[in-house]
Amino acid sequence: MKTEQERKETIQAINVLLNQAYDSILDEILAHLKRIDDIEDEEDILAIKEAREDRHINGTVSWGEYKGYNRETA
């Protein structure tokens, strides 16, 4: 993961190149970014569904039960 300063520098470099790009290239970049965003949304939804299914199959443990379990096994 980038630091805040690294992110800022990367975004500035991207902005310089975007300002120099042709309109058709900008349209392509936007389309790619939207596809990436859609894929990430789908992955997030899948992860939520899997977590719900796991919780349904395996049940849940409350924090209090977990802490008690640690004391019993220590």
The number of CA neighbours under 13 Å toward the Cβ of 72 is 6
**Residue 74 predicted with pLDDT over 60:** no
H or E element: which one contains 67?
helix 63-73
Tens of pLDDT, residue by residue over 2-59, are: 999 999 999 999 999 999 999 999 999 999 999 999 999 999 999 988 888 887 777 7
| SS3 assignment for 4-19 | HHHHHHHHHHHHHHHH
Q: What dihedral do alpha carbons 9, 11, 15, 21 form, nearest 10°?
A: 110
